Structure 1
Amino acid sequence: MKITINNQKFVLHSCGAAYWEEKKILLISDLHLGKVSHFRKHGMPIPEKAVQENFNRLNNVLELFDAETIIFLGDLFHSKINNEWNFFADWTKTILQRIILIEGNHDIISKKYYTVLNIEIYSELIIDDFLLTHHPTERENLFNFCGHIHPGIKLKGLGKQFLSLSCFFRKTNQMIFPAFGEFTGNYYLTPTENDKVYALAKGEIIEIKN
């Protein structure tokens, strides 16, 4: 789905990423690499192939767009280094894009590890009149792209059935990105009449009308 914000064009993808056409930037939030291995270490029965799924999704979305830069809007890695860091390090060597990380609350790994991989780290980033952060932030005259919340929406059918979907949650001057990573969970939001919700369905984006 293509949307326009402040005269800039963005393509929302059903995996939870967005492509900024004019800047050739791919925006991704809350990948939480290492979380699957963390769960497995503590005895949760998660298939080992789930680790590779995050990288498969990254590669798939990179193939779709002519991105020159990838900006992760925080929580790239879930916590301390585990074996998934090695997978990530190997993955960075297979791509040509510049990588930028906006620090999130889970990004506790020493910056020296990112420096080795030529990954730039910022607490926030301003590009034209857009403010890129991890936590939702309001700043005068700036439109905020952020993550952290893992937004979702619950839809109710006529037969009292419910459907829960991740979503891009857009307010007047802000858009909260869905979590890109596997096994991240959602925080369900209730939109007001001025909000726009772009839900992630199977292979497509659906705008939910209030």
Structure 2
Amino acid sequence: MKQEVHLAGETLVLLAQKALYWPRENMLVIADIHFGKAAAFRSFGIPVPSGTTTQNLDALDELVRAHGAEHILFLGDFLHARAAHAASTQAALLAWRLRNPQLMLTLVRGNHDKHAGDPAAILDIAMVDEPHTVGALSFCHHPDIAAPGYVLAGHVHPAYMLATRADALRLPCFVVGATRMILPSFGAFTGGHTITRAPGEAIYVTSGEAVHYVR
């Protein structure tokens, strides 16, 4: 189950898979996928799960098929660190790109991208700096940057705590305010930062199967 929101004169769709779809542009918007993060941890001898790159790419494929998207825009932190240029990660990214040559890909550079370096040119990703404005929307990595349009950003990896008297559950969330929206991190190995709702903000949590408005 998904949720539609209407912002800056546009209809945007919040997806349970921690992504956003802009129907008018047939565009998927993805925040903080952090390719190569697990490889970076393993390079320091830290035992973490393998296969996260494949998991992320499979999730992108599922969304493209479901929505017939023609464009994926990444809101920064596409690569986690220089270790993401490891041969295995790059081979997986290239194989995915060769399977999807029709897709337009745009990356708004984030803080991790500046340290990791731009993705390989063969991946054919258009590189832009924030704010990248299309119509009434400004695509950013950092949510607090000055921009001419309604801001869509990542960086925070927001999560929200749902609690009862007996139990608590923390879920990734979309944070929707008057001038900006912060998307949850898309990556399979990225964690989350518990946020507190500010006045005037709406919170939409995702269970992975459905998006729910938090009253």
Structure 1, 131-140 or 3-12: larger mean CA deviation: 131-140
Distance 1:89 1:98 in 2: 14
Q: Residue 67 of structure 1: which of 66, 69, 74 is its match?
A: 69
Give the structure, 1 or 2, with the largest relative contact order (CA under 8 Å, sep 6 or more): 2
What is the aligned residue count? 207
- Residue 109 of structure 1 and its aligned partner are, at CA, apart by 4.0
CA contact (8 A) 1:102 1:121 kept: yes
Distance verdict in 2 for CA 1:64–1:75, change over 3 Å: same
- Residue 37 of structure 1 and its aligned partner are, at CA, apart by 1.6
Query: In the alignment, what sits opposite 1:192?
Result: 198
Q: Deviations over 1:156-210 (max 9, x none)?
A: 1121x1110111111111000110001211111111341011101131101111x
Asked if 1:53 is matched to 2:81, the reply is: no
Query: In the alignment, what sits opposite 2:144?
Result: 137
Which aligned pairs between 1:27-176 and structure 2 lie closer than 5 A?
27-80=29-82, 81-82=85-86, 83-95=88-100, 96-107=102-113, 108-111=115-118, 113-124=119-130, 125-139=132-146, 142-159=149-166, 161-176=167-182
Amino acid of the structure 2 residue aligned with 1:208: V
- Residue 140 of structure 1 and its aligned partner are, at CA, apart by 6.3
Query: In the alignment, what sits opposite 1:205?
Result: 211
- Residue 11 of structure 1 and its aligned partner are, at CA, apart by 1.4
Higher helix share: 2
Distance 1:140 1:131 in 2: 6
Distance 2:182 2:120 in 1: 25
Distance 1:33 1:110 in 2: 12
Distance 1:117 1:143 in 2: 29
Distance verdict in 2 for CA 1:50–1:109, change over 3 Å: closer
Amino acid of the structure 1 residue aligned with 2:92: F
Q: TM-score, normalised by structure 2?
A: 0.90
Q: TM-score, normalised by structure 1?
A: 0.92
